[in-house]
Structure 1
Amino acid sequence: MSAPGTRPYAPLLLAAVATLVSMALPAPFSFLLSSGGFSLLILLQIKLLAGEGSTHTTNLLFRLLGWLSLASLWLWLLTPAEVRSSGLPLLVMLSLFELQAFIRLIGRLSHERRVTREVLMGALAGYVLLGLTAALLTALVESIHPGSFSGLPESISERVTVHNQPGTMQDARFIHLTYFAFVTMTTLGYGDVVPLTPQAKLLSICLSVLGTFYLAVNLGVLIGRFIQEEQAGP
């Protein structure tokens, strides 16, 4: 069970990991499950973090951004690849929503009185969420500006031409962009997928900074809390 005052982060972590694993499944299961997973993650963040704002107005705006992000996500998923501008609302809404969500999550973790299993799950869930959000943003950049990344098996436009059907998130080879996002966040940089356009390069810089920042802040918070517990004694 969760410690008193600790929020249950396990559902958030399980949903994030399940969404990540679902991308490796064969089509059409990967598209359906990952799309549902992203939707569930947005809803869980709204539920768990909506009460972390300082005022009723900020909480209301956070919820509104979450619902707009969810609506924009499905608008983008259901829109043919030819209408690439449909990704712009999601790019803006999701960026603002996840920025607020990460600030609230870090704030929530910093106020936990003890470093429990739930707190560690929350910290890990935040990192996986950051990677999934980064993957979604890279897919958006690729869908709006095809050819933004090299090393992808095929672009959305090529798949539409070959199969004569609307492109989707699955058609963008989302698993490769997810791999690129996590590799960039951890600053490994294998070099098999490379950003080519200025927008993709700027996004890559932001991801590497955010990944390092999240780890540094959370490690500082958790280690500081653990030291306080040790000094306080039983």
Structure 2
Amino acid sequence: MRLTEAIGRDLLARRHTALLLAIVGMFAVRPFLGDTGAATIAYSVATLLVGLVAILTIQVDDLVGERERLLLQRRRRRLVGWALAASAVTERVWAFFAPSPELVVVGSVSWLLFFSYVTWSLLRSLLKQREVTGETITLSVSIYLLLGICWGLLYVVIFARHPEAFQFPTPTPSDIGEAYRFPILLYFSFTTLSTIGYGDITPLTLQARYAAVAEGITGQFYLAILVARLVGMQMSRAATPPTNPPAHDRRTEDPDR
């Protein structure tokens, strides 16, 4: 029992690292497993794992704040978070048994709302940090990756409604099934977020173009604000004098000197 509690406390303290590892694991599934049927199932399981770790993370982060607002915040976030997670998970399970184009749109919107809520909650937690630690860095990276996931889901919704919204080198949009749609548009999302822009996938409609522009701007502003925030926290910590210096640092002056 003590070992289990110790492991739980350690995971709780490193929850942002766990979230980052879950996201990286989700990204690694498709490249390593390819386009097999097992890869599709593994990718869905990895996505569900990311969602589970994310919602547990924001619930713990909710414990940091003003005490009088603590209970209200916990209830609200727990209700909203689990409601969005339940709708997204239900879509994933339903899609295995009765896939349909309408379900793709509903599911993508559900996951988009869920990950957007998680990203916003984690961003608020990041802005409340007072010092730079390893967990602060992993939290920052996780938020950046979650931004790419959110926009990838937005592109899936746009593509499902308007298949002519994007131009692909090969195959044509009509040949792209649901199982491969999100990984491809997720790749486009991160090349846009990081402003790499290879040009192999091109947005054609006004909605797709404006979404891509908004993502590029968001990525640049996030990095700029993040760096400024981290540097500011580090400088503030360095400028704050220690309140109680350790005993071994206190030196008494020798009167004979």
**1:77–1:192 CA distance, 2 compared to 1 (3 A):** farther
Unaligned runs of 5+ in 1: 160-166
Q: 2:201 aligned with 1:193, yes or no?
A: yes
State the TM-score, normalizing by the size of structure 2: 0.74
State the TM-score, normalizing by the size of structure 1: 0.80
Q: Name the structure 1 match of 2:55.
A: 46
CA distance in 2, matches of 1:30, 1:223: 41
1:64: Cα distance to partner? 1.0
1:226: Cα distance to partner? 1.1
CA distance in 1, matches of 2:155, 2:94: 17
User: Any residues of structure 2 matched to 1:130-169 within 5 Å, and which?
Assistant: 130-155=147-172, 157-158=174-175, 167-169=177-179
Residue 211 of structure 1, aligned match among 219, 227, 248 = 219
1:98: Cα distance to partner? 2.3
**1:209–1:99 CA distance, 2 compared to 1 (3 A):** farther
1:20: Cα distance to partner? 0.9
Are the counterparts in 2 of residues 106 and 218 from structure 1 also a CA contact under 8 Å?
no
Larger radius of gyration: 2
Q: Name the structure 2 match of 1:164.
A: none
Q: SS at the partner of 1:9?
A: helix
Considering only aligned residues, what root-mean-square deviation do their CA atoms show, in Å? Answer: 2.8
Are the counterparts in 2 of residues 85 and 144 from structure 1 also a CA contact under 8 Å?
no
**1:143–1:154 CA distance, 2 compared to 1 (3 A):** farther
**1:198–1:213 CA distance, 2 compared to 1 (3 A):** same
Are the counterparts in 2 of residues 24 and 30 from structure 1 also a CA contact under 8 Å?
no
User: Any residues of structure 2 matched to 1:95-174 within 5 Å, and which?
Assistant: 95-155=112-172, 157-158=174-175, 167-170=177-180, 172=181, 174=182
Q: Name the structure 1 match of 2:19.
A: 12
**1:118–1:14 CA distance, 2 compared to 1 (3 A):** same
Return the structure number with greater relative CO, CA threshold 8 A, min gap 6.
1
Q: Name the structure 1 match of 2:184.
A: 176
1:90: Cα distance to partner? 2.6
CA distance in 1, matches of 2:153, 2:170: 17
**1:77–1:50 CA distance, 2 compared to 1 (3 A):** farther
Residue 210 of structure 2, aligned match among 198, 202, 206 = 202
CA distance in 1, matches of 2:120, 2:24: 21
Are the counterparts in 2 of residues 150 and 193 from structure 1 also a CA contact under 8 Å?
yes
Query: Which structure's residues are more often helix, by fraction?
Result: 2
Q: Name the structure 1 match of 2:246.
A: none
CA distance in 2, matches of 1:42, 1:204: 24
**1:79–1:195 CA distance, 2 compared to 1 (3 A):** farther
1:126: Cα distance to partner? 1.4
Unaligned runs of 5+ in 2: 1-6, 63-69, 243-257
1:117: Cα distance to partner? 0.9
Residue 24 of structure 1, aligned match among 19, 31, 34 = 31
Q: Name the structure 2 match of 1:228.
A: 236
Moved over 6 A (4+): none
